[in-house]
Amino acid sequence: MDDDEVIPHLKCDVELEFTGPNDATLNKWAADALRKLADRIEKNEFESGFHPVKDSVGKPVGTIYVDYSGELA
């Protein structure tokens, strides 16, 4: 490793809020939203900062904060 090599870091915070008929439905909705976010993170679709999270019909259900940074090794 070079002395001036940067070690990348990722911080990711997700806040979701759902209202629904029962716990099982809320769990499914949350899991669906998290799977979509995971796919988007893997595809590098987020820049650093806050981004809205929407459900399958486009209704806002929360936010995701992504912070890409690095420090010298």
Q: What ranges do the domains of the chain cover?
A: 6-72
- pLDDT in tens for each of the 73 residues of the chain? 555 799 999 999 999 999 999 999 999 999 999 999 999 999 999 999 999 999 989 999 999 999 999 988 7
Measured CA angle at 24 (ends 23, 27), to 5 deg: 85
Q: What is the pLDDT of residue 2?
A: 58
**What's the pTM?**
0.85
Rounded-to-10 torsion of CA 48, 49, 54, 55? 60
Looking at residue 3, its pLDDT comes to 59
d(CA 55, CA 71): 35
Residue 73: per-residue pLDDT: 78
Tokens of 4: 């001036």
